[in-house]
Amino acid sequence: MTDQIVEPFGPEYLRPAQPKCPNCSCCTAPLCEKGRNSALECVGNTRKEFAATVAGCPCSAETTRGTHTWRMARMSVTRHAAEAPLPHAAEGILRALADGADPVSDPAGLITQLRVCRYVTVDNGSPSITDLGHAYLTARDEPRFVTPVEVAAVDVDTCTARVVVVGWNPTATVTVLLEQLTQATGLNAEELPGRHLEAVANCRTEDPDDIVVTYIRIAEPLHAAGWAAESHGTHREGEV
């Protein structure tokens, strides 16, 4: 006699439907939660047959404040502004667009370069600056400082960490990407809480979400770095 396999849910069992996302019309809530905290966005976290439906979901897009890709883009723009800024003429066009100039003279065709950087979009032949373009100009203009940074906590589920950027606020925490800390320090997530680091940050910004830390490294012992003598002191980037 052959043993029979009994399906406890019956032959017509289907996986329960997941709740729809309240913020978009293309995804489920669990998918958007995962996509928001992933460099792959929603489209990279679903099956191929659903990719066309969820592509461009605003819940995980780099244009949406607070998403993983938004934070990645802010880091990229900040490094671009500091290390390899746009040519003077291209930046001039970007500033003219930010000031609302219409039309903007572009005899050298530099708007094409700005579009590649996603700093400018063109609609019906009319260029306009994007949020990323504004972020680039902000990164060019705002001062950045070398500051102590302490890792308060990590969240592997959201791939983020909460850190104290001392030069901005010696007690409040801000969110940074976990992979940024692990790649810069060589430490794994479990080793990071309580670690003292050093980084460069825009310490004069007001919104904690606008803090962008770069050039992260493990800090020297306090007595060697002189932090004990300069309680919570900071230096302008490039100063000693």
Residues 138-155: what's their mean pLDDT?
A: 97
pTM (2 d.p.): 0.82
* Euclidean distance between CA atoms 191 and 195, whole angstroms: 8
Which two tokens mark 155?
């969240």
**Is pLDDT above 60 for 201?**
yes
Q: pLDDT tier at 120 (50, 70, 90 boundaries)?
A: very high
Listed residue (116, 200, 193, 107) closest to 155, CA to CA: 193
- Provide the pLDDT for residue 240: 30
* Euclidean distance between CA atoms 162 and 154, whole angstroms: 6
E strands in 83-186 = 120-123, 126-129, 145-155, 160-165, 174-177
Cα dist from 192 to 147, 176, 180, 184, 233, whole Å: 17, 13, 12, 11, 22
More confident of the two residues 163 and 17: 163
Which two tokens mark 40?
């792959």
Q: Which fold has domain 145-236?
A: OB fold (Dihydrolipoamide Acetyltransferase, E2P) (2.40.50)
More confident of the two residues 197 and 105: 197
**Is pLDDT above 70 for 234?**
no
Q: What proportions of the chain, in percent to the nearest 5, are helix, strand and coil?
A: 35, 20, 50
- Provide the pLDDT for residue 182: 98
**Residues 129-138: pLDDT tens digits?**
999 999 999 9
**Is pLDDT above 60 for 4?**
no
How many CA atoms, within 13 angstroms, populate the side-chain half-sphere of residue 146? 13
Structural contact between residues 120 and 128, judged by C-beta atoms closer than 8 angstroms: yes
- Provide the pLDDT for residue 21: 94
Helix (H) or strand (E) segment spanning residue 49: helix 48-54
Listed residue (215, 219, 213) closest to 197, CA to CA: 219
More confident of the two residues 199 and 4: 199
Q: SS in 3 state form for 180-220? A: HHHHHHCCCHHHCCCCEEEEEECCCCCCHHHCCEEEEEECC
**Is pLDDT above 80 for 232?**
no
Return the SS3 of 179: helix
All structural domains of the chain with their residue ranges: 25-61, 71-141, 145-236
- Provide the pLDDT for residue 221: 73
Structural contact between residues 113 and 90, judged by C-beta atoms closer than 8 angstroms: yes
